[in-house]
Amino acid sequence: MGRIFSMVLSILAVTMLLAGCGAKAEQAGTEKTAEETAETPTEVSFAADVAPIFAAKCNACHHPDNAVKVDLTRPFHPELGLINRPNTWTNSSRPILVVPGDPDASALIWKVEQSDLELKVDGDPMPWHIDPLTDRELENLRQWILQGAEDDDLYRGTISRMMGDGVSLGSRGGKCAYCHYPGAAYGPDLTDLFDPQRGSVNISSDFGGARIVPGDPEASVLFIKVKGEPLPPNLGRPMPLHYERLTAEENQVLRDWIAEGAKNN
């Protein structure tokens, strides 16, 4: 009887030991999954995660005056940027530089991920003559395209600051909202270009036409009045009236933003 009791205890001990090992194995598997999940990029920002990649590894060659007319200092430019633009390597299996939502169809991803491209079909792998993109940079680039390849925070971070907040001095004060603030007796409220009554996007101008026509800077009265060129008499005086004019860089950013669709991003 004592011998049988000892055998039962031994079996119970082994069972408990195996159960403990199984629990540890299951826990280890869970930890690995959590680790892998942590390494997978979630939502990325163009400004924070993608623009620095272009600045470090692309812009030295792909600047505004480069021969292939792909300017990564302005990747959202409708004529020189990346988004939905044809690949200059016309025989490539990826005919579009960046297809929003589809990294695998985007020539940009093909060029930076593949190391054995056929020279006469796709040209050299990129970046050229410097270190390739890291795994993290590739993941961020893919995720950005998967999210829609959008220029996040352009309006809030750049255009809105250029206009001004109507309250602050210095950089937050901008160059327009000293006169065009909420409650001002005249003109649009340039602290919020999207205000449906006193804003500018798709809002009629006192001079005829719309203040901002998404997709068409040259038809946008606001842009015409600030870009620093002589105005016809029917458009009044150039703007800003009592502050230094927009710089060439500021004008280009404003033009590009309108050309991209004047989005509230």
Model-level pTM greater than 0.85?
no
Tokens 């004047």 locate to 262
With bands split at pLDDT 50, 70 and 90, how would you rate the model's confidence at 260?
confident
Measure the N-to-C terminal CA separation of the chain; round to a whole number of Å. 81
- Distance (Å, rounded) from C-alpha 3 to C-alpha 223? 97
Which tokens sit at 82? 């990346």
Sign of CA dihedral 60, 62, 65, 66: positive
In DSSP terms, which residues pair with 86 in a beta bridge?
A: 96
Tokens 């004019």 locate to 245
Look at the chain and count its residues: 265
- Confidence at residue 36, expressed as pLDDT on a 0 to 100 scale: 43
For 167-202, b/e burial (b = at least 16 CB within 10 A) is: eeeeeebbbbbbbbbeebeebbbbbbbeeeebbbbe
SS3 85: coil
Domain ranges of the chain: 1-40, 46-146, 154-259
- Residue 77 scores a pLDDT above 70: yes
With bands split at pLDDT 50, 70 and 90, how would you rate the model's confidence at 8?
very low
- Confidence at residue 241, expressed as pLDDT on a 0 to 100 scale: 85
- Residue 22 scores a pLDDT above 80: no
- Confidence at residue 10, expressed as pLDDT on a 0 to 100 scale: 52
Lowest mean per-residue pLDDT among 55-59, 65-69, 70-74, 198-202:
65-69
Lowest mean per-residue pLDDT among 35-49, 80-94, 189-203:
35-49
Sign of CA dihedral 218, 219, 222, 224: positive
- 106 phi and psi angles, rounded to 5 deg: -90, 125
- Distance (Å, rounded) from C-alpha 10 to C-alpha 182? 83
Higher pLDDT, 99 or 265: 99
- Distance (Å, rounded) from C-alpha 162 to C-alpha 156? 10
Amino acid at 259: A
Comparing CA positions, the residue from 173, 174, 197, 175 lying closest to residue 187 is 197
- Distance (Å, rounded) from C-alpha 17 to C-alpha 145? 49
**158: alpha, beta or left, given left = phi > 0 and alpha = psi -120 to 50?**
alpha
168, 177 Cβ separation under 8 angstroms: no
